[in-house]
Amino acid sequence: MCPELTLMRRMVLAMLGIVAVAAVGCSPDSDQQPSTLNPFSSDGCSLFPDSSAMTSHDWCDCCVQHDITYWRGGTEKQREQADQLLRECVAAKTGNGALATLMYEGVRVGGSPYFHTWYRWGYGWTADRHYEPLTAAENELADRLMTEYQNSESISVCETEG
């Protein structure tokens, strides 16, 4: 087996352990305040490498696109589609179906909206939304914030110096 995949499997198992600990802290929101959407942010491939240390393969852009959808949130079907697109993007960029599937399985387990983590489904919202379609006003807000992010001078997490 490729040493890179063995390391990645260990990283996913560690991530799943973190998710299990995060799940213990989950509790129903009894006095939930109205939710607002924070500006978009991404850390690339949360808890996973953004690129290969052994090859020239770089899949960070796939993770940022995935983060955009996770930040926005929505329905369970939308999350499933986002996770499938991540798998397809990583497979296309790397030619490595095992890596793509490993990442897919990691986000399916770790990205649940029921975990109180910074990378959960709908993480842009100030209150837990779980699987809830966005209203027209929420979609307009998300579109405006994404346009502001795309027009900003900030450097992408995927850009490297050099």
Per-residue pLDDT tens digits for 66-98: 999 999 999 999 999 999 999 999 999 999 999
* Separation of alpha carbons 20 and 18, rounded Å: 5
Residues in Cβ contact with 134 at an 8 Å cutoff, skipping those fewer than 6 apart? 72, 73, 74, 142
Query: Are 27 and 34 in contact, with CB atoms under 8 Å apart?
Result: no
Tokens of 65: 């696109």
Report which secondary-structure segment, H or E, holds 143: helix 136-151
Least confident of 11-15, 45-49, 144-148: 11-15
Q: What is the DSSP letter of 122?
A: T
Banded model confidence at residue 18, pLDDT cuts 50, 70, 90: low
What pLDDT band is residue 127 in, cutting at 50, 70 and 90?
Answer: confident
115, 23 contact by CB (below 8 A): yes
Residue type, 4: E
